């Protein structure tokens, strides 16, 4: 079945560490997105990519980095520069342009310990 796979489901990070969240899709979608979700704040866009080897900053990109070397993959690195990284991270994909909306992964819960 086609879909988006995020891993790991739960991730714990020590202060000062970088961690990478994985997002893989087999839907042949061109566009991929990373969102952060905090209680009461809805979804906030971190980065998005509409095509391989190209990506743009979203509304809260500081402290995060991404790459898009393959169409299927859009990993997100949470760097030590991100001061409050504890959150639920969601990856999504779409056909891009005039699409019918996003398909979301099941999320990664990141906790700083």
Partner 1 sequence: QKEVEQDPGPLSVPEGAIVSLNCTYSNSAFQYFMWYRQYSRKGPELLMYTYSSGNKEDGRFTAQVDKSSKYISLFIRDSQPSDSATYLCAMRADRGSTLGRLYFGRGTQLTVWP
Binding site residues, partner 1, CB under 8 A: 4, 6, 31, 40-43, 45, 48, 50, 88, 90, 92, 94, 96-107, 109
C-beta closer to partner 1: residue 27 or 31: 31
46 neighbors 58 (Cβ within 8 angstroms): yes
Query: Closest separation between CB of residue 68 and partner 1, Å?
Result: 15
Query: Closest separation between CB of residue 109 and partner 1, Å?
Result: 7
112 neighbors 15 (Cβ within 8 angstroms): yes
Q: Name the DSSP letter for residue 70.
A: B
Query: Closest separation between CB of residue 92 and partner 1, Å?
Result: 8
Q: Name the DSSP letter for residue 44.
A: E
C-beta closer to partner 1: residue 26 or 106: 106
Q: Name the DSSP letter for residue 98.
A: S
The length of the chain is 113
């Amino acid at each position: 079945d086609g879909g988006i796979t995020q891993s790991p489901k739960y991730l714990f990070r020590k202060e000062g560490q970088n961690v990478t969240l994985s997002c893989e899709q087999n839907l042949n979608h061109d566009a991929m997105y990373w969102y952060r979700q905090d209680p009461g704040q809805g979804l906030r866009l971190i980065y998005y990519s509409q095509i391989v080897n190209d990506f743009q900053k979203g509304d809260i990109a500081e402290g995060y980095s991404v790459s898009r070397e393959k169409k299927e993959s859009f990993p997100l690195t949470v760097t030590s520069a991100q001061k409050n990284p504890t959150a639920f991270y969601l990856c999504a994909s779409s056909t891009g342009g005039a699409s019918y909306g996003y398909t979301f992964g099941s999320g990664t819960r990141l906790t700083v310990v």
